[in-house]
Amino acid sequence: MSSAAEHPGRGRSIALRLTLFYALFFGIVTSGGGILLYHLVRSHIIEEIDQDLLRQQQEIAHIIASGDIRALAAELASTANEGGSSDYFARILAADGRVELGSDLRAWRVALPGIPLGGLRPGELVYADVALPDARRQARVLTGATESGRVVQVGLSLSDSMAFLRHFEHYGLLILFFMLSLGTLAGWALARKAMAGVESVTRAAERIADGHFSDRVKVAGEGSEIDHLVSTFNRMAEHVQNVMAEMRQVNDHIAHDLRSPLTRIRGLAESAAIHAAPGSDGAELAGSIVEECDRLAQMINTMLEIAEAEAGVQRLALAPVRADELVRQAVDLFAGMAEDRGIALSCSIASPERLNGDRRRLQRALANLIDNALKYTPDGGRVEVSLSRNGDRVEIAVRDSGPGIPPEELPNLFDRFYRGDRSRHLPGNGLGLSLARAVAHAHGGDIRVESGIGAGSTFTLSLPAPAG
Ligand code: ADP
């Protein structure tokens, strides 16, 4: 039976949260590692460039110190080609800032950074990053003063290094994306695996809550916490099943034992009614006792019938049954009652299905559903009984235009003696749906209900279609 069972917190399921956690964890670790690696690589490159610049600067300073200006000019010419190199430059400035000698700077097209020449002490070195007019390019420039007061400035373009770092960023982002996807997938798979055990316990608990007390969960045998939960759950289910069986047995015994005294009381009341003066108080009282005894006997018989049906398939008188005939006969049986109340009772048969079942019990179950539909639908309403096939199930649905059932009543509807608050003024004993469900279960089927206040109710008897 599937009532409007609620699943609190399913939207924020643990599996989803674990998946998000893994994805976040992988994302943070990967981007943290990536950023750290990027900075390490970048500072390593700058360090290499700085050392290169320092070597060049020292070489030039050395030549200046030796006073060999021609060698210096040759050195500059060798490091920067004719027409200017865009990779490297060097120049020598006098103490007043005038350029004394320098490599061809045409390719650089840059105003080199202002150097506080006055403030530079001999031997002091200043590194600076310079943006070139071509916005994407940068240069690293080293400025140093020699003992003679001259300033030697060497620079190296960073465009190759920057291109390398851009590649690094590009691939880094790709790897981050890959790791995030991997983290999400791995997280999802791990969370699903971890939660599979919990889900099977939940499913079994739901089935037990629906009345399938013999359901158990398979123990995986891994000795995990889930295994422990499963075996504890199974023990609990076993206990509940035993208690329920004992309670039922006691109920059945009581019902059984009540039959004989009740028959005797009825017999006595009947003979009192016969012997009392017609129309006297005694005759009326005896008549009422007979009526009450009949009601009680009917209730006891229904209880015993439920007990029989709950004992399972072995007690059924199974035979091929034509479901369309079953439905037509049941509708015919109630046609008169429906007409009296001005209720349009109709029957719709999609296909003439066959069943393997206990005809008498199935008739009884269907009659209970139609009886309820008529009982709870106000005069002038509609009741439709339909037969259809749904996969491997034959389904008989009884739909009414009645007042509907409040959602909070749905979980208890099939319990023995349960009667809805709003139905107490109508005749009944709260056993009709219990019997219908017990019959459905004995046949390997079930009953489900869809209902809402003001929307009518549909009770669907779903039975397995015979194989072949
Ligand atoms: P009874 O009809 O004797 O009270 P049942 O076991 O047949 O007992 O039904 C249990 C309760 O389910 C009813 O008391 C009623 O509240 C509710 N019910 C059953 N069928 C319908 C229906 N078709 N429309 C509205 N309520 C229904």
Asked if residue 270 lies in contact with residue 288, where contact means CB atoms within 8 angstroms, the answer is no
Tokens coding 47? 């360090």
What's the pLDDT score for residue 235?
93
447 C-alpha vs ligand 1 centroid, how far in Å?
A: 14
What's the pLDDT score for residue 459?
98
Q: List the residue whose alpha carbon is closest to atom 15 of ligand 1.
A: 420
What's the pLDDT score for residue 226?
83
Asked if residue 165 lies in contact with residue 42, where contact means CB atoms within 8 angstroms, the answer is yes
Which ligand 1 atom is at minimum distance from the Cα of 414? Answer: 6
> Which of 299, 413, 425 gets mutated to test ligand 1 (max ligand atoms within 8 A of its CB)?
413
Give CA separation, 84 vs 71, 75, 77, 106, 157, in Å: 19, 14, 10, 5, 13
215 C-alpha vs ligand 1 centroid, how far in Å?
A: 27
197-200: Cβ within 8 A, 24+ apart: 197/224, 197/226, 197/227, 197/229, 197/230, 198/14, 198/226, 198/229, 200/230
Q: Which amino acid is at 35?
A: I
Q: List the residue whose alpha carbon is closest to atom 20 of ligand 1.
A: 372
Among 13, 368, 34, 333, residue whose Cα is nearest residue 188:
13
What's the pLDDT score for residue 111?
56
Q: Which amino acid is at 18?
A: L
Pocket of ligand 1 (CB under 6 A): 368, 372-373, 376, 400, 402, 405, 413, 418-420, 423, 428-434, 457
pLDDT digits (tens), the chain, 468 positions: 333 344 544 445 778 888 888 888 888 998 999 999 999 999 999 999 999 999 988 888 888 888 777 777 777 776 655 445 567 888 888 877 787 887 776 666 555 555 555 567 787 888 888 877 766 678 888 988 888 778 888 888 888 888 888 998 999 899 889 888 888 888 888 888 878 888 888 888 888 877 777 888 888 777 778 888 889 989 998 998 899 889 888 888 888 899 899 999 999 999 999 998 888 999 999 999 999 999 999 999 998 889 888 877 667 889 999 999 999 999 999 999 999 999 999 999 998 899 999 999 999 999 999 999 999 999 999 999 999 999 999 999 999 999 999 999 998 999 989 999 888 888 898 999 999 999 999 999 999 999 989 899 999 999 999 986
Tokens coding 50? 């700085």
**Dihedral, CA of residue 299, residue 302, residue 303 and residue 304, to nearest 10:** 120
DSSP three-state, residue 361? helix
Give CA separation, 438 vs 2, 68, 241, 316, 352, in Å: 15, 113, 16, 12, 25
Which ligand 1 atom is at minimum distance from the Cα of 429? Answer: 3
- What is the residue-wise DSSP string for 110-173? --PPP--GGGPPBT-EEEEEEE-SSTT-EEEEEEEE-TTS-EEEEEEE-HHHHHHHHHHHHHHH
What's the pLDDT score for residue 4?
37
Residue 366 makes CB contacts below 8 A (sequence gap 6+) with 326, 327, 330, 385, 396, 398, 436, 461
What's the pLDDT score for residue 407?
92
What's the pLDDT score for residue 387?
97
Which ligand 1 atom is at minimum distance from the Cα of 434? Answer: 6
Which ligand 1 atom is at minimum distance from the Cα of 418? Answer: 10
Among 160, 147, 156, residue whose Cα is nearest residue 56:
156
Q: List the residue whose alpha carbon is closest to atom 1 of ligand 1.
A: 430
Give CA separation, 311 vs 142, 226, 308, 337, in Å: 96, 33, 5, 33
Asked if residue 116 lies in contact with residue 105, where contact means CB atoms within 8 angstroms, the answer is no
- Give residue for tokens 């999400």: 184
What's the pLDDT score for residue 404?
95
Residue 462 pairs in a beta bridge with 395, 446
Tokens coding 269? 């009341």
Residue ranges of alpha helices (H) inside 10-100 are 14-66, 69-79
Measure the N-to-C terminal CA separation of the chain; round to a whole number of Å.
26
Find the length of the chain: 468
What's the pLDDT score for residue 186?
86
